[in-house]
Amino acid sequence: MTKKEESPRLLDQVRNEIRLRHYSIRTEHTYVDWTRRFVRFHDLRHPRDMGAPEIVSFLTHLATQANVAASTQNQAFNALIFLYKHVLKRDIGDLSGIVRAKRPVREPTVMSTDEVERVLTHLHGVHKLMALLMYGSGMRIIEVIRLRVKDIEFDLQCITVRDGKGEKDRQVPLPSKLTDALRTQIARVKTLHDQDLKDGFGTVYLPYALARKYPNTNKAFHWQYLFPSPKLSDDPRSGRRQRHHVYESVLQESIRRAVRETGISKDIHSHTFRHSFATHLLAAGSDIRTVQELLGHNDVKTTMIYTHVLKAGACAVRSPSERLNPAATTVVLAPPEQPSKELSNNQQPPASEQRTCNPASHVIHTEINREALPDVAAPMTPPASQSPNWLARLCQRFP
């Protein structure tokens, strides 16, 4: 490698700008790597001698020739934008000619309750405890391995997630079934920490400038990682030898091995426990806004993907009236009325519904409705031979 390719000035500037903004060490490694790959792609030319056309050609190459995923191309795009905007202090210009990789719309893989139990039975020790925290609290794997002793609130039955995605803190539930296991794990950390102090170590990484502001805080027990690494290591930034947390790859490999042993034909990994946590909460009737806060999502649209997994629509929504007191939801209705039946001229009503009609009331009724009854002729008193039938028909028509 030439000095021009591995220009310490350029790469160090990238690191300094990233640390100035308190980005994670993972972001630092990623942006430095994309800067190096960008320089290599253009035959070791310095980025200050390049601009928008070179950026467009590099990102287009990733989409068309390298056939990378859309998330990978977006990652490279963000790294180069950071390089030119914050390191080189240059305006990039028009990037409209970039061929963007199409981002597929995929639903997350979710395990059933039975599948979760089967996977957990093939995990053991600390790895099982970490998997239970991911499923029981919805934390990401990086959030679990970065937990510190002080983040476990036994009295409040909650866990505080520090510096989550987007440098946000949040609280998640502490499963009551894990209380004894967590107390045992904290006791194991205490024993290991005491031994490190005897050996002249015992420090731990502290965020920002806390180590300088409070010199002895990095040796405090409550700042120790809940899941420490079995070996000491050198901090990549300070160079100090101390005990860091476990590597996430160790837990990921343990989960993959457990899935193979169960024989489940799904692409299950550590993040699947988080997907299952959210889906099972929504299936149990939890409010989607509550699930959004527990997961740490900025937008509820991100949480909505789990309703698609459930195939939940209007028929899956639980009406708020289900929570009302039974006395308030009891409805008493009168029995239905019998529909009226219109009788024809020659049809006799049932015996129970027949009415008696005297001649006096008949005469008054006839006189009032004379104009409306042209077929009822005078005189008002019919002949004796026709009176019964005529009177019955009239009572039928005008009861």
**Residues that are catalytic:** 140, 165, 271, 274, 297, 306
Return the DSSP state at 248.
H
Round to whole Å and give the CA distance between 212 and 54: 42
Cα(283)–Cα(230) distance, integer angstroms = 39
Q: What is the distance between the alpha carbons of residues 248 and 195, in angstroms, rounded to a whole number?
A: 24
Nearest to 227 by CA among 182, 163, 180, 272: 182
Whether the CB-CB separation of 74 and 31 falls below 8 Å is answered with no
Q: How far apart are CA 139 and CA 159, in angstroms?
A: 10
β-bridge partners, 170: 161
| Residue labelled with tokens 């015996």 | 351
Residues 245/246/251/254 CA torsion (nearest 10 deg): -160
3-state secondary structure of 223: helix
Q: Which residues of 251-286 are buried (b: 16+ CB within 10 A; e: fewer)?
A: beebbeebbeebebeeebebebbbbbbbbbbbbeee
